[in-house]
Structure 1
Amino acid sequence: MKFSKLVLPGITMIAVTYGLARFSFGLLLPAINQSLEMTDSTSGVVSSLFYVAYCITIVLSTVITTKEGPRRMIILAGLSAFFGLLLMAIAPNVGMLALGVLLAGGSTGLASPPYGAAVSIWMKAENQGKANTWINSGTGFGIAISGLGAILLMPHWRLTYVIYAALALSILLWNYKVIPQVNTGAGSKLMLKKGNFSVRGVKGANRLVIASLLLGFSTAAFWTFSRSFIEAAGGYSSWQLSGFWVMIGLFGVLGGFSGSLIEKVGLQSAYRFGSFAIAGASIILAAAPENFLTAYLSAGLFGCAYIFLTGVLLVWGIRVFIKNASLGIGVPFLLLAVGQVLGSLFAGVFIESWGYSASFILYGLMGVAAAFLAPEKR
């Protein structure tokens, strides 16, 4: 299969599921709170459903992709994003909004593992690293689009979600057309080699698990509280606050080059570079959150480093679970999400006790610690 024929629809599906269905919620939340009269505690519970759904569906997707191939999960991810966004757009109450959040959040977990399997099946070996990291960079495109949507349509959050749902449907149809079926039975020219859903006895798996957890924990404060941090620092207009998010997405697109950098400097050096960069983003923001240029520099560095690092974890995971690409993506991405859940819970406590700056420095230092868990050289 041609590189662009698989990678382009993959990028757009990841952009829809991660950027629009998942990460856009935080930007639109103030308007949603006002419209549905939600308290802060209620909106916090609803927001947590994104992580819950993600953790469940990425396990489900990994298991089914391992047994049946990637097509069914990719289509299901698109359907989940479409119906989730549509339900959120028309939600008359918190209950329906929560259901939409579950579906939208679940689409992210459904989408990631099957694309890794698709690349391993249909891409030449020398192109697989680039293909995986460029598909992963779709998150950056989606975040940038969600930020622009927040700037242009902030008061009209229902219309925003309707537009996002229409985009999700069109991209679902595109993937439905281009992703072929893989037979798992005998007599087929293209067979799916079934893998084992297990991390036991796999060399390098433990280091990958711990690194993913720690990186997830270290990035949680930035994802959850960075916008609140600069807003509390004062001096930012509403469009500048949304622009902060756009910077994360736009520079996140640069993370698509992680596959090329891994080829040049090696997986170990690329991982360490990404870990130090992600740590630096939190520390820079803590140093001068009230400064427009410093805040935007931090956002750009975080976006680039985060998408870059997820690309590195993706390649690392596939190398560790070389016989099961879907498991190679599912394990680090699941542990990254678990780390973010734990990191978000502790970040709130730390911020209440020590303030934003000290907490962000602490989380930055955790990123530095993660750098010392780099993969071993092959």
Structure 2
Amino acid sequence: MKRTLQSIDAPATPLFAAGAVALIAATYGLARLGYGLFLPAFSAAFALSPAVGGLLASGTSVLYCAAALAGFRYAPTRPRLMTLLAGTTAALGSAGIASAPGTAFFAGSVLIAGLGAGFASPALVELVQRNVGSGKQKKFQSVVNSGTGFGVVAAGTLALAAGSSWRLAWGLIAVITLAAMIAVLRADTSASTSISGGDGGRGSGGGSGAASDAQAHAVSLRKLRRPIAAAFIFGAGSAAVWVHGRLLLQEQGGMPTAATAAAWVALGLGGGAAVLTAPWLARHAVGTTWRVTVLAVAAATGTFAVAPDIVILSFAASALFGLAYTSATSVLIIWASQVSASSAAGTSVLFISLVLGQSAGSALTGALIEAAGFGSAFVAAAACTAGALGFAPRRGEPR
């Protein structure tokens, strides 16, 4: 990838930093994860059955993977296009939810809104590499990734404040998403400082160049086998809290709906606080940071299982889960950058594995809840999460 030294070493502008964090917050925390927080209001407005609500959630996961696959293919060379798609799909979907006249239109809008997150991560991983000096990239990637937590806080706050005015809330989400996308595209300096043509990326090259790219990706995929397995198992275990956590607090802990939404605000605050872990993640080896963050997620999940009726512990577990989960996904981004020929493509692969694991884990946890109860299901989820430790980097692998 041919860029001038100025574009490699120039510090990212405050506008780029704020826009990148906001775009992750909007596409992940609001447009994608906000669906679950607003599901009670959606179900009342459109007479959604639990089965239909679950199918829509699964559908967003499938389309997320499709968008992330597009990111795998195009983000290394066309990150601005992927950024445009991220913001446009999330904003259009959110606007569609806000204005939906009926169930079919609403369902289609939910699916479109979920696409944005799949485009966003690989696009921003690449843009961070192009706009941030190499010595600060690991820290900056973690800072941007913490935007998910801020988005969850915003979604929880909107769910509490909006009440029956959920259409206004989702119209606001659309506006926030568009503003964040525009900020990133305006602040990105890589296109103007690029020597080669195209979207600030590589030239197309000849046949031998294409063969070299294919060979490099094959090598990268072999090196990604351990983090792919780790991401899948981690996703399967963490799904219990994301999908069934509020129901556990409500049914087993006896919390009112407003209190469980507040617990999710605490989860989001924990996720936002992951920005404070960025220097620690950048200084330590991936093996160390992966083990610590995965163990913390497992501990938080286990706390949900054993103390759902103790409000202080439940809120603390929510905050710890948000902090550790967001930090763990930052570790996956750093891990991908160290073993993959393309950080953007590697991140796409690992996040697809993560989401596929969450899809499988949510279904298995639901089945366990029906068969053995919430406590046993969440203990099993905590054990599954801890199982991801078995695929941590071996000694001597990336730092």
**Shorter-chain TM-score: what band?**
over 0.9
Pairing 1:59-208 to 2, within 5 Å after superposition: 59-66=69-76, 68-180=77-189, 182=191, 186=196, 191-192=201-202, 196=214, 200-202=218-220, 204-208=223-227
Alignment partner of 1:268: what SS?
A: helix
> What 5-or-longer segments of structure 1 have no aligned partner?
none
Q: How does 1:1-378 map to 2 (within 5 A)?
A: 1-3=10-12, 4-66=14-76, 68-180=77-189, 182=191, 186=196, 191-192=201-202, 196=214, 200-202=218-220, 204-321=223-340, 323-376=341-394, 377=396, 378=398
How far residue 38 of structure 1 moved from its aligned partner, in angstroms, is: 1.4
Structure 1 residues 232-255: Cα deviation after superposition (integer angstroms, max 9, x where no partner)? 024323321110110110010122
Give the distance between the partners of 2:225 and 2:269, measured in 1 at CA. 33
RMSD: 2.1
Using the TM superposition, name which of 72-81 and 263-272 deviates more: 263-272
Structure 2: which 5+ runs fail to align?
1-9, 205-212
In structure 1, C-alpha distance between the alignment counterparts of 2:301 and 2:19, rounded to whole Å: 32
| Conserved? CA contact 1:197–1:327, under 8 Å | no
Per the alignment, do residues 257 and 329 of structure 1 end up closer, same or farther by CA in structure 2, a change over 3 Å counting?
farther
Compute the TM-score of the two structures, normalised by the length of structure 1: 0.94
**TM-score for the superposition, normalised by structure 2:** 0.89
1:189 deviation in Å? 12
Aligned amino acid, residue 155 of structure 1: S
Q: Secondary structure at the match of 2:393?
A: coil
Equivalent-residue separation in structure 1 for 2:74 and 2:198 (angstroms): 20
Q: Residues 134-174 of structure 1: CA distance to partner in whole angstroms, max 9, x if unpaired? A: 11100000000001111111221111111111212222222
Q: How far apart are 1:210 and its partner, in Å?
A: 0.6
CA distance in 2, matches of 1:224, 1:368: 18
CA–CA distance in structure 2, aligned partners of residues 110 and 97 of structure 1: 21
| Distance 1:270-1:355 versus aligned 2 partners, 3 A rule | same
Percent sequence identity over matched residues? 27
CA 1:164/1:188 → structure 2, altered by over 3 Å: closer, same or farther? closer
Q: Is the 8 A contact 1:217 1:341 kept in 2?
A: yes
- Map of 2:210 onto structure 1: none
Determine if contact 1:75/1:175 at 8 Å carries over to the other structure: no
Give the C-alpha shift of residue 94 in structure 1.
1.7
For 1:135 and 1:363, locate their aligned partners in 2 and report how far apart those are by CA, in whole Å.
28
Aligned-residue offset at 1:262: 2.5
Misfit runs of 4+, over 4 Å: 183-191, 193-199
Q: Distance in 2 between matches of 1:46 and 1:189?
A: 34
Q: Distance in 2 between matches of 1:34 and 1:372?
A: 43
Letter paired with 1:290: D
Instruction: Tell whether the 8 Å contact from 1:247 to 1:300 is kept in structure 2 after alignment.
Output: yes
Q: Which moved more, 1:257-266 or 1:229-238?
A: 257-266
**CA distance in 1: counterparts of 2:57 and 2:199, whole angstroms:** 45
User: How far apart, CA to CA, are the structure 1 residues paired with 2:334 and 2:197?
Assistant: 31
**Distance (whole Å) between structure 2 residues aligned to residue 198 and residue 42 of structure 1:** 42
Give 3-state SS (helix, strand or coil) of 2:276's partner: helix
Matches of 2:165 and 2:214 in 1, distance apart? Answer: 47
Distance 1:243 1:186, change over 3 A: closer
Look up the equivalent residue of 2:351 and give its one-letter code.
F
Q: Count matched residues.
A: 376
Aligned partners of 2:215, 2:266: CA distance in 1, in Å? 38
**1:197 positional shift:** 8.7
CA distance in 2, matches of 1:287, 1:188: 55
In the alignment, is the contact (CA less than 8 A) between 1:255 and 1:305 conserved in 2? yes
Task: Assess if the C-alpha contact under 8 Å between 2:11 and 2:133 holds in 1.
Answer: no
Amino acid paired to 1:15 = A
Distance 1:138 1:64 in 2: 23
* Conserved? CA contact 2:197–2:203, under 8 Å: no
1:8-39 Cα deviation digits (max 9, x unpaired): 21100000000110111111111111111111
- Secondary structure at the counterpart of residue 191 of structure 2: coil
